[in-house]
Amino acid sequence: MSKSRQVLWSLVLTSLLCLCGVAGAAVAPGYDYVPGELIIKFKPQVQELDKGGIFAPLDGRKVKDFTFIGAEHWQIKSGSVENAVALLESDPRVEYVEPNYIVYALEIPDDTRFGDLWGMNNDGGFTDPSGNVAVADADIDAVEAWDVFTGSSSVLVAVIDTGVDYTHPDLVDNAWTNPGEIAGDGIDNDGNGFIDDIHGWDFANGDNDPMDDNDHGSHCSGTIGGVGNNALGVAGVNWDVSIMGLKFLTSGGSGSTAD
């Protein structure tokens, strides 16, 4: 695996471990996880043969490495995930272990005025469908910031979510295009371990098309970088930015930390 691919996998996993907020702890009650799968990090001195011995009672098999952060993805066939976590946490050779948690995108309401994005500039005149009245200037002062700077395409933002609709009229001009890749030739031109990764990568389905099939990622992308001052839709915080789609959540809005 190339170094750049290792870094990309590791960035995704690190972000998800932070989102879950349960790394290094016992199985968190109320959280879903993939049956028979673990994310583990061993102490630095532990050798590969030792790892195999540690997992032998669990009939374990390593799936892949997350080299950049030193974590590993394992499958077990013997015993429950709960018992495996308890067993491995008690082993002094293990730095941390957790189930391969399933994470979910937050729900986006379908209210017609939800997209007004009063958080950018709140004049106090907004009332949501529930009758809640906005508080003037309870916003991020986007208008004041835009007087100074409206963004730059040299800034690359990777959206780790359900994907990005890179054809959307308010996103198409800000969708990242890989300058080192030739679309459709079936060759990994830039040598990063991903073939034809033109706009990002789909880790959920294992292909090169991170097109959003849920809308959550595109909504987030619009907030981050919806094209501004184009007389269309809404404006993102950055009118000009490069958005890379890293899809790990399915059309149903779920995915695992290992994805």
Which tens digit of pLDDT belongs to each residue from 203-236? 999 999 999 999 999 999 999 999 988 887 778 8
What secondary structure does DSSP assign to 203-217, as a single string? TTTTBS----SSSHH
Q: pTM for the full model? A: 0.74
Q: How far is CA 198 from CA 102, 176, 191, 192, 226, in A?
A: 27, 8, 13, 12, 19
Per-residue pLDDT band at 54 (split at 50, 70, 90): very high
Distance CA 117, CA 228 (A): 13
Q: Which CATH architecture has domain 3-103?
A: 2-Layer Sandwich (3.30)
The answer to whether residue 56 scores a pLDDT higher than 50 is yes
Strands 71-76 and 200-202, bridge-based pairing: unpaired
Whole-angstrom Cα distance, residue 41 to residue 19? 18
Helical (H) or strand (E) element with 104? strand 94-104
Residue span(s) of the chain under CATH 3.40.50.200 come to 105-259
Domain 105-259, CATH class in plain words = alpha beta
DSSP class of residue 135 equals P
Q: Where in the chain is the domain with CATH 3.30.70.80?
A: 3-103
- Please report the pLDDT score of residue 132 as a whole number: 84
| Residue 119 confidence (pLDDT) | 82
pLDDT of 49 higher than 90: yes
Q: Please give the residue that has the higher pLDDT: either 215 or 17.
A: 215
The stretch 248-254 carries a mean pLDDT of: 93
Spatial contact of 85 and 31, defined as CB atoms under 8 Å apart:
no
How does pLDDT run across 102-133, given as a tens digit for each residue? Answer: 998 876 555 444 556 778 878 888 887 788 88
